């Protein structure tokens, strides 16, 4: 007799895949539809925060009910003597995991809220353990791998934290934003959650994460989401977790400190190691402990001598305090971030190739705001609303409406947001304080250099990402030629690519510098 009958087998298979699929990719939505059939409520292509609906998924309740019935029916058959195949054992195990997570989601939320408020917290571990044992200690089911209740309780809490921090901090309904959330999720759980539970849960700290992308795109938010979602063991004897998520993230901005201070903050120092070292100091590598995460922002700015020392940390997992000779173990995780092109930095001899290959075992790239908006125009309005609510609480909605109207009337849909999310937040603040926002190069001191001068200065300073560079250069050639066809010929690309790539804001600035000029004849194409 089969453990799952008829259509149950297909639904159980889809539910099983739901426990493993990355929740931030379109595949998640497709699996929900496969499970629920006609009962599926159509939703967005990707699971993202909706500023109006607060990101609620309308299918969760039906999914939980479906999974619970499948599991209860399967358990009854096991108790009645049905002998499951190896495949059915796996399906049953995944249904148990889904049931436990869905049933105790509010408990995870309460624990995290208590942690964030530094409040005393209680857990319903006893109820969790009873539920887990009810399904796992049943005739015919063989426990394999890590399925003990304390581990599953800790794993459930980690899953909740991972979803909370990734979902709530990395906004956007565009596919690039969804892919960023999915990449962060994989940095926490790897590409195979089954293997993560069996093998990797105690080893993920061995893999450094490198986050690259333009300035202002939220690289530190990504790092915090990953760092706050690390696995925290649970002790059933004391009913406590080993630490609070907020206590395990240790950021260090390398561009803001001198090499000596970087070494002191990172490695620590012994009293008398240098002028001003009046007492022993524990650096982040020591303070982080086995469950902590050290975040090295602007890794591309790191001095060459310190690069050598960091390489040793990543290779041997050991370090020395300044002024000491004894070795200390580093047990935490390293996350590094940069907006620099490390490939170019390595070619120029400013960044060590061996250090890069120690950092890039897990790499994430953050998309520009322009990329998100081009894929999903509504993201701009949604992000303004999210920012306004965070900054101004109960008046956030009204302020967001004002800001969005100002952007639409003065910057337009083609503005490129070169400062990304950071610039958008400052735009919100400017409109609130001054009733307007003037981007650099548009009515500010920067405009004295002119559009060409600003472009040249940005080019020399190396502050443009690849998309910005190509978009502005394409606009410059188009402005010079006055024709999409001629610009396409000069650039050796298709005419349609010229039209799509042009930085319209930069083009408008170029046109504005030409007295009495008008748009070229084909500007409306």
Q: How confident is the model at residue 442 (pLDDT cuts 50, 70, 90)?
A: low
Asked if residue 377 has pLDDT above 80, the reply is: yes
Q: Of 232, 352, 338, which Cα lies nearest the Cα of 292?
A: 232
* The overall pTM is greater than 0.95: no
Pick left, alpha or beta for residue 382 (phi over 0 → left; psi -120 to 50 → alpha; otherwise beta): alpha
DSSP secondary structure string, 35-51? HHGGGPPP--SS----T
Q: Scanning the structure block, which residue is given the tokens 């333009």?
A: 214
Per the CB < 8 A criterion, the answer to whether 129 and 83 are in contact is no
Asked if residue 519 has pLDDT above 70, the reply is: no
Per the CB < 8 A criterion, the answer to whether 252 and 267 are in contact is no
Q: What angle do CA 79, 84, 89 make, to 5 degrees?
A: 100
The pLDDT score that the predictor gives to residue 494 is: 83
328: exposed, middle or buried (Cβ count in 10 Å: 0-12, 13-18, 19+): middle
Give 338's strand partners.
212
Six-digit token string for 28: 């998640």
- 40-54, 121-135, 175-189: range with highest mean pLDDT: 175-189
**Centroid of chain to Cα 105:** 21
Higher pLDDT, 491 or 227: 227
Could you count the other beta carbons within 10 Å of the beta carbon of residue 265? 20
Condensed to tens digits (0 to 9), the pLDDT of residues 112-129 reads 988 877 666 667 899 999
Q: Of 119, 108, 199, which Cα lies nearest the Cα of 162?
A: 108
Six-digit token string for 510: 């170029």
């Amino acid at each position: 007799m089969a453990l799952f009958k008829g259509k149950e087998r297909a639904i159980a298979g889809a539910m099983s895949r739901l426990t493993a699929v990355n929740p931030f990719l379109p595949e998640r939505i497709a699996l929900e539809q496969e499970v629920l059939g006609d009962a599926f409520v159509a939703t967005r292509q990707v699971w993202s925060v909706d500023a109006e609906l607060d990101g609620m998924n309308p299918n969760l309740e039906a999914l939980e009910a479906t999974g619970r019935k499948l599991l209860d029916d399967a358990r009854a058959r096991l108790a009645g003597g049905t002998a499951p195949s190896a495949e059915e054992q796996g399906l049953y195990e995944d249904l148990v995991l889904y049931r436990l997570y869905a049933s105790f989601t509010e408990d995870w939320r309460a624990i995290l809220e208590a942690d964030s408020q530094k409040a005393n917290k209680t857990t319903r571990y006893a109820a969790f353990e009873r539920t887990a044992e009810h399904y796992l200690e049943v005739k015919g089911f063989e426990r394999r791998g890590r399925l003990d209740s304390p581990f599953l309780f800790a794993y459930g809490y980690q899953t909740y934290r991972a979803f909370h921090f990734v979902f709530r901090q990395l906004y956007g309904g565009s596919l690039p934003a969804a892919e960023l959330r999915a990449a962060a999720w994989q940095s926490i759980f790897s590409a195979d959650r089954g293997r993560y539970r069996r093998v990797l849960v105690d080893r993920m700290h061995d893999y450094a994460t490198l986050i690259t992308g333009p300035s202002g795109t939220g690289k530190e938010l990504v790092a915090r989401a990953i760092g706050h979602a690390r696995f925290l063991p649970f002790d059933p004897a004391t009913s406590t977790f080993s630490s609070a998520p907020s206590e395990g993230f240790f950021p260090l901005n390398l561009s803001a400190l001198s090499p000596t201070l970087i070494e002191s903050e990172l490695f620590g120092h012994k009293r008398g190691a240098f002028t001003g070292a009046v007492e022993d100091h524990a650096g982040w590598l020591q303070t982080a402990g086995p469950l902590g995460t050290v975040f090295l922002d602007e890794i591309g700015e790191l001095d060459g001598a310190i690069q050598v020392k960091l390489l040793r940390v990543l290779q041997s997992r050991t370090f020395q305090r300044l002024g000491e000779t004894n070795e200390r173990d580093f047990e935490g995780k390293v996350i590094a971030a940069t907006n620099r092109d490390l490939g170019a930095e390595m070619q120029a001899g400013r960044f060590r190739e061996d250090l890069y290959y120690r950092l890039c075992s897990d790499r994430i790239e953050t998309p520009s705001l322009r990329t998100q908006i081009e894929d999903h125009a509504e993201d701009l309005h949604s992000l303004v609303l999210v920012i306004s609510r965070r900054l101004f609480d109960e008046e956030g909605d009204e302020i967001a409406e004002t800001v969005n109207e100002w952007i639409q009337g003065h910057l337009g849909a083609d503005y490129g947001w070169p400062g990304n999310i950071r610039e958008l937040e400052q735009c919100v603040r400017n409109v609130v304080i001054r009733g307007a926002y003037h981007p650099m190069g548009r009515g500010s001191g920067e405009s004295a250099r002119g559009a060409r001068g600003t472009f040249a200065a940005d080019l020399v300073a190396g502050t443009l990402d690849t998309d910005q560079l190509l978009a502005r250069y394409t606009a410059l050639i188009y402005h010079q030629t006055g024709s999409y066809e001629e610009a396409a010929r000069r650039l050796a690309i298709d005419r349609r690519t010229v039209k799509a790539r042009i930085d319209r804001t930069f083009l408008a600035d170029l046109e504005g510098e030409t007295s009495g000029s008008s748009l070229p004849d084909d500007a409306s194409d």
